[in-house]
Amino acid sequence: MKNILITGSTDGIGKLTALKLAKDGHQIYLHGRSEAKLKAVINEIKAASNNKNITGFVADFSDINAVKKLAEQIKKEVSTLDILINNAGVFKSPTDKTIDGLDLRMAVNYLAPFVLTESLVPILNTGLETRIINLSSAAQATVQKGVLTGDATVNASESYAQSKLALTMWSFNFAKNHPNIVTIAVNPGSLLNTKMAKEAYGQHWSPAEKGVNILYSLAVDAMHISHSGHYFDNDKGSYNKAHPDVYNMAKIKQLLSDTNALI
């Protein structure tokens, strides 16, 4: 039995992946923004999976202080983590800025998983064959410092693509710094049948199950162990090259320096 934390798991592929893993009898920790919704999903997954080992945590990922508090709460309540799936993400939103004046997509899609994961290293280090799965995207664009710090405003598509590249760059670097943890960035598939894709584009190309199946595989299948610090492109169904910036150590160093200064 694995201890598995999946962020953004009250709907979409996060929720469906949680259900698939719950059916195997693992201890599942869900995460959502709304306490009421989280409770409902915990009960739903318990019933559908016949697995009582489902609990959850509430935090708004657009608030970096809330993410820091969440990490402390998890460390108090969870002694070891074997699998962390950084799935929480946002594309379309009524607002483009967080309460701290940061770019909303940058905060939720990159800064929140960065803060959470780096804080949870002590309990990830005690896991068995620990894996971190970071949800990237086919959309990746060079990170502008102003977008990262909230000083420059770009459109939703551009800030989303920059946030996903930032996540992927950090992911590769994290893998290098933590050789005992298998860390993989994944594009789960473009325009899957999820709320996020429908809100953003009003259409979908592939069923949500396409994304669920790859997240499940990355979490538990042995064949992925040798691919730490790699990028799985589920549009192609294979490991593939990510954006060139991911392999540029100077750009990664700059990103991490700017990120640490920010948080």
Which pLDDT value is given to residue 73?
Answer: 98
Which pLDDT value is given to residue 192?
Answer: 52
CA–chain centroid gap for 261, Å, is 22
Which pLDDT value is given to residue 197?
Answer: 46
Q: How does residue 150 score in pLDDT terms, banded at 50, 70 and 90? A: very high
Is 205 a residue whose pLDDT tops 80? no
How confident is the model over 9-28, as a mean pLDDT?
A: 96
Q: What percent of the chain has pLDDT over 70?
A: 93
Cβ-Cβ contacts under 8 Å for 148 (sequence gap 6 or more): 103, 106, 162, 166, 255, 258, 259, 262
Which pLDDT value is given to residue 232?
Answer: 97
**Average pLDDT value for the chain:** 94
CATH of the domain at 173: 3.40.50.720
Which pLDDT value is given to residue 191?
Answer: 54
Residue 206: domain span: 3-262
Q: How does residue 208 score in pLDDT terms, banded at 50, 70 and 90? A: low
For residue range 59-93, list pLDDT tens digits in order: 999 999 999 999 999 999 999 999 999 999 999 88
For residues 37 and 74, the answer to whether their CB atoms sit within 8 Å is: no
Q: How does residue 209 score in pLDDT terms, banded at 50, 70 and 90? A: confident
How confident is the model over 217-245, as a mean pLDDT?
A: 97
For residues 188 and 138, the answer to whether their CB atoms sit within 8 Å is: no
Q: What percent of the chain has pLDDT over 90?
A: 90
Is 195 a residue whose pLDDT tops 80? no
What's the structural domain count of the chain? 1
Give this prediction's pTM. 0.95
For residue range 158-182, list pLDDT tens digits in order: 999 999 999 999 999 999 999 999 9
Which pLDDT value is given to residue 206?
Answer: 56
Is 201 a residue whose pLDDT tops 50? no
Which pLDDT value is given to residue 207?
Answer: 64
How confident is the model over 218-231, as a mean pLDDT?
A: 98
Exposed / middle / buried, residue 11 (Cβ in 10 Å: 0-12, 13-18, 19+): middle
Which pLDDT value is given to residue 202?
Answer: 54
Lowest mean pLDDT among 19-28, 103-112, 123-132, 207-216: 207-216
